[in-house]
Structure formats: C-alpha cells, structure tokens
Amino acid sequence: MSTTTFTFDVAEGNGPKFDIDLSTVDDIAALQHAIGQNYGVVRPEGLSFHSGSTPLVALSEIQASEGIITIKVDGHALRDIPGPSGLPVVGNYLEVFPDHLGNNQRLFDRFGPLFQVNSLGRILCQTNDPELAQICLTESQFFSKEIVPDHPLYPIKNQEAGVFLGDTSNPDWKVVHKFLPPALGPKAVRHYAPQMNRCLEEAFPVFDELEKQNKAWNAYQYMLKLSSGTVGKIMLGKDLEHFTSVDAPLHRIILAIAEVLVINKKISSRGEWYAHLPFGDPKRLKNLQQFMADQIQEAIDEAESNGTEDLELQDAALKAANVVDYLVRAADGKGEHLPKKNLLSATVVATGAGFTTTSSLLSWCLYSLVAYPGTQARILQELIDHDITDETSITAEQIDELEELGKFVKETQRRHNPSYQPGRTAQQDMILPGGYRLKKGTVVVSALHHIHNNPAIWDNPSRFDPDRWDTEQVQQRHKASYIPFAMGQRMCIGFNFALLEVKIFLCKLVYRYHWEKEGDAETEYDPYFQLIRPVNLYLRTQTREQWPSKSTE
Ligand code: HEM
C-alpha cells in the first residue's frame, strides 16, 4: 500500500496532515467525496488539489506528484468566519442595532458573504449568499432548525407549538406539521377566497370615512387591523371588530401578539442573562403568552361546541367552519387527532405568523403603489382587462391569471421583504463553500433582505422593476436568490394563504381607490420590530369615479 499525504491550505497556521491510500479511490470525485466525508466538507466537489502552485486535475497527476498535496476549497484556504472585533460586554451590538438592515449591509460589504457578530454574548452568523442560504435552510446532517440559546427565537421557543417555535428534531414538529399544512394548502386556501373578499369589503366604510374626513392614515396600523381581522375570522372564527369605526381599537389578542414580538426582539438581541430576569421584559413576556393562550382556548371551546364529528385530514379544511374547527376535528388515516397539548400553542403560533407577516407585506405593497410611478395604472388596467370590478368576488383562479399583479407582489417582496430572518443551527463542525470553518452549534441566519438585494445576483437591486421577472436572468436565477418564505422543510406553510389574501386585497383596493403618499418624509422601517414594517407611511385615498377602458388588443 502506498499512501499520499494531504493537507488543507489554511489562512493562518498549518492545516492537519493526513494520509490516503489512493488505490482505494477510482477518480478525483471519489477522492473529493472521501475527504469531504471525513472533514465535514459540505460541497466536496469544490475541493481542488495542488502541488505547490500547480493544480492537479486528474487522479493520475496526484499519484505521480511527490511531496504533500495541498487542498483548497473553491479556490480558498480554510478560514474562520470573519466579523468585526467588537467591544467588551456589548460585543458588536452597537455596530448592528438599531439600523440592522443598513448595518448588516455594511458588514456584508466589508466581510463578504458570511460574517459573524456577537450581540451582548449571543453569537450569530449572517449570509447574503444563495448557495450558503440553501445549504443552511435544507434540513440535513449539516443544518437543522434547532432553537439553541443563540437563536433569535430562543426567548419564545415552544416545542409544543411544533411549527415555527420548535426544533425539527422534536417529535411535536412532525405531528403538528402533519395536521396544520392541509388547512393552509392551495385547495383549502381557494375555499377561503370569498371570506377574504368579505373581510376587505367590511373595511371599505372606514377607508371611505377617512377620505371624507380628509385624513391621512398610517398604512401599517390599518393593514394590521385588516390582516389580523382576516386571520381572526379564518383561523379562529372570531370577529375582531376592527372596522366598526375609524378608531376601533385592535383586539387585545392582536396587541398581545404584537407586543410579544417587540419584547422578543429586545430579549433576543441582548444576552442570555437578560432573558432570565424574573421581572421586566421576560416577566411581561410570560404574562402575555398566558393571556394569548386563554384567548385561543376560548376559540377552541367555541369550535368544539359546533360539532365534534371527525373529518378526514385532506378535505377537512373544506368542511370545517374555520382553521381551529379543522384542527379540533381533522383525523388522519388511523383516526388520530392533533394532540390537545399541541393544539393550543400551534394555533397561537399560526395565528401570529398569519398576520404579523401579511400586515407588513400589505403595507409595503401600498408603499410600492405610491412610491413607484405607474404601478397603480398597470394593475388597474389588468383588472379592467379581466372584467374585475367592485362587484367581483375575486377567486383564486382569477388571481392566477393576473400577471402584472403577480410581478408587482414579487418585486415588492424582493425589494421590501418583510419576513423574519430564518436561523438554522450547525449540526456538526463543517467546512462551507468558500472554505469557511463553522463550529457545531453556530446559528446562521439567511438574511432575506440582503439576499434579495445582493448586487451579485440582482441587476441594479435598488430599482423597483416588476418587469425584471420576465427576464431570462431572473428566471434562471439560483433557487435561493428569492426566498421570501424561506425554503426547505421548515419553510412557511402559510404562503398560499398570504399570497391569495394580499392579492385579493390589492385588486379591490386599487380598483376602488387612487392612492397617494402623505408628505415627502422618507419611509422608515421599525428597527425594534422582529419583522420589517414601515413605521411612518401615511396614505390618502381618492375614491375612483372613472376607470380606463379595456385594452384594445
Ligand atoms: C407575507 C406573508 C408571510 C411571510 C413573508 C412568511 C414568512 C415565513 C418564513 C420566512 C418562515 C420560516 C421561519 C423560519 O425558518 O424560522 C415562515 C414559517 C411559517 N409560517 Fe409564514 N410567512 C407569511 C405568512 C404566513 C401565514 C399567512 C401563515 C399562516 C396562516 C404562516 C404560517 C407559518 C408557519 C406555521 C411557519 C412555521 C413552519 C414550520 O416551522 O415548519 N405564514 N413564514
């Protein structure tokens, strides 16, 4: 047996040396694979072999070479994840917050596609690279959604909820993930379309009244009322009475969920010690969680009083009165139900996930209507061309035909992505593409805003251009360069619901009103909220009295 000695090229110091008997491998791919398996190389096909400065591209060249063979990863030496050095105690906190979008962009510009920061003791990596994001978001031997103390969701971790707040490895995730998605799948969601139309129509008197009073109104506050009211009806079967008057207050459960997100952002951006304080924010968080649970329990009790006959999982969503009713009655092939212990927290989580995100997306859609000239006219023309009027109860089938609207929503989600930054935890020590060494337990966040605005992927990313979605370049983009709902097994299960709701609302809002932004102030996002929402976007509507004619062609 004759062995050859290899070593990884490393940015600092010396890499470990190891021997391989080359007679045990057939070709370079097999050699890459063998080394990859031993050293946790995520993409072994990126390994290249060198003798001094000479690349060795065939196994025979490696066999014939004398001396130690150096290995590079995608042309790079192994390196630690770079990042700013930081201050004692606070680490990099002040370099990231409050303007985390702008500051993280500066860190990407400075350190490249993967960097690490320390926020008051919490270590977090961020990537704006689609290839790295895809690796992180794919549940595998390398990464999983595991909500460890450094994970941004740790302060509200809840295994019983299964989805969103639980670890993939926890059996509760599997159980909840079996029962909840059918209630939010394409078939079920189509069935909610008439309800979505009605929810918006109920809001018209309030928008009309605001116009009559000549008042500009805060986009987010009203979109929050609208989307949470809709989720309240469809998920919980509850009328939250958000549009009984222009000043109708938000229902207490919505205020509680919104406050939980604010407190969580605060707690998770500070150190672990903060989360354990027996007073202040952590105590308030516990009280709010209890209050939410009590409210949802009421909806569950109400659903149970409507009937208890079992409904088969796949079409239960079409027969149940609302999602809670579905969750109480849906039974799988073995007649098993979602266990009671999961029902409550899964409902709280899905309700929260269902409106916090869509209210932000709707607000950014309104922003795109008023900030980018020509968008309202294009959408309106398409509605006219499809014979959609004020009277139409818009269906999912009609929405599928509205291409202009589809591109508008996609471009808004690219440019003004509202969603939470999904974190995944390294399951082993590994070597990532680019030669980055990552330690087991490290949390990597796929920075959705920065991926969607990465100039290496998107041509002129700050330009709002719905037509980019027709270009070859965008159609052939890397799978993970546009992931508003994340990807992989832990991606959003409510995206059908969200897109249908947002599109139905936009059709109706654009058909009925012309939209204008109040004042010239730059629209700012809320740096203290877990999602990215505009805080100071004020709008005015003008009820349309004339509509364009149908296009002639
Ligand atoms: C614009 C709207 C929405 C956006 C941008 C969005 C985005 C996301 C993202 C990025 C994730 C992954 C989170 C992570 O990996 O940590 C997620 C998960 C999830 N979303 Fe959404 N979402 C939206 C609407 C909805 C709606 C309407 C619902 C329910 C009615 C919903 C329910 C969920 C649930 C339950 C999960 C967790 C899935 C799991 O853990 O397996 N989302 N969403």
Ligand 1 atom closest to residue 180's alpha carbon, by position in its atom list: 35
Ligand 1 atom closest to residue 497's alpha carbon, by position in its atom list: 27
Q: Give a yes or no: residue 422 inside a domain.
A: yes
Q: Give a yes or no: residue 549 inside a domain.
A: no
User: Using CA atoms, how far apart are residues 81 and 439, in angstroms rounded to an integer?
Assistant: 10
Element (H, E) at 517: strand 513-517
Whether residue 74 is found in the same domain as residue 194 = no
Whether residue 415 is found in the same domain as residue 536 = yes
118 close to 222: Cβ distance less than 8 angstroms? no
User: Among residues 30, 45, 80, which one ends one of the domains?
Assistant: 80
Whether residue 306 is found in the same domain as residue 425 = yes
Residues 6+ apart with CB under 8 A from 497: 184, 189, 192, 234, 354
CA 317, 319, 320, 321 torsion: positive or negative? Answer: positive
Residue 306 has pLDDT above 90, yes or no: no
Q: Give a yes or no: residue 346 inside a domain.
A: yes
State how far the alpha carbon of 343 is from the alpha carbons of 61, 212, 314, in Å.
61, 44, 18
Q: Give a yes or no: residue 145 inside a domain.
A: no
Q: Give a yes or no: residue 69 inside a domain.
A: yes
Q: What residue owns the CA closest to ligand 1's atom 11?
A: 492
CA 467-472-476 angle, 5° bins: 115
Tens-place pLDDT, residues 72-99: 999 999 999 999 998 887 888 888 888 8
User: Among residues 54, 80, 106, which one ends one of the domains?
Assistant: 80
The best mutation among 357, 415, 530 to test binding of ligand 1, ranked by most ligand atoms within 8 Å of the C-beta, falls on 357
For the chain, how many structural domains are there in total? 2
State how far the alpha carbon of 226 is from the alpha carbons of 32, 355, 361, 383, in Å.
54, 9, 12, 22
Tens-place pLDDT, residues 465-476: 999 999 999 999
As a whole number, the mean pLDDT across the chain is 93
Residue 527 has pLDDT above 90, yes or no: no
User: Using CA atoms, how far apart are residues 246 and 209, in angstroms rounded to an integer?
Assistant: 7
The CATH number given to whatever domain includes residue 340 is 1.10.630.10
Q: Is 62 helix (H, G, I), strand (E, B) or coil?
A: helix
> What is the CA(453)–ligand 1 centre distance, in A?
21
Whether residue 60 is found in the same domain as residue 188 = no
Whether residue 75 is found in the same domain as residue 198 = no
Tens-place pLDDT, residues 20-62: 999 999 999 999 999 999 999 999 999 999 999 999 999 999 9
Pocket of ligand 1 (CB under 6 A): 163-164, 177, 184, 349-350, 353-354, 357-358, 361, 418-420, 422, 484-486, 490-494, 497-498
Average pLDDT over residues 122-145: 97
User: Using CA atoms, how far apart are residues 86 and 442, in angstroms rounded to an integer?
Assistant: 18
* Predicted pLDDT of residue 155: 80
User: Among residues 20, 54, 80, which one ends one of the domains?
Assistant: 80
Tens-place pLDDT, residues 309-322: 888 887 788 888 88
Domain that holds residue 201: 171-543
Q: Give a yes or no: residue 20 inside a domain.
A: yes
Q: What residue owns the CA closest to ligand 1's atom 16?
A: 422
Element (H, E) at 315: helix 313-319
Whether residue 377 is found in the same domain as residue 482 = yes
Q: Give a yes or no: residue 416 inside a domain.
A: yes
Q: Give a yes or no: residue 53 inside a domain.
A: yes
With cut-offs at 50, 70 and 90, classify the pLDDT of residue 271.
Answer: low
The CATH number given to whatever domain includes residue 43 is 3.10.20.90
* Predicted pLDDT of residue 12: 84
Q: What residue owns the CA closest to ligand 1's atom 15?
A: 422
**What are residue 72's DSSP bridge partners?**
48
Residue 272 has pLDDT above 80, yes or no: no
Residue 432 has pLDDT above 70, yes or no: yes
Whether residue 44 is found in the same domain as residue 177 = no
**Closest-CA residue to 539 (of 506, 512, 514, 508):** 514
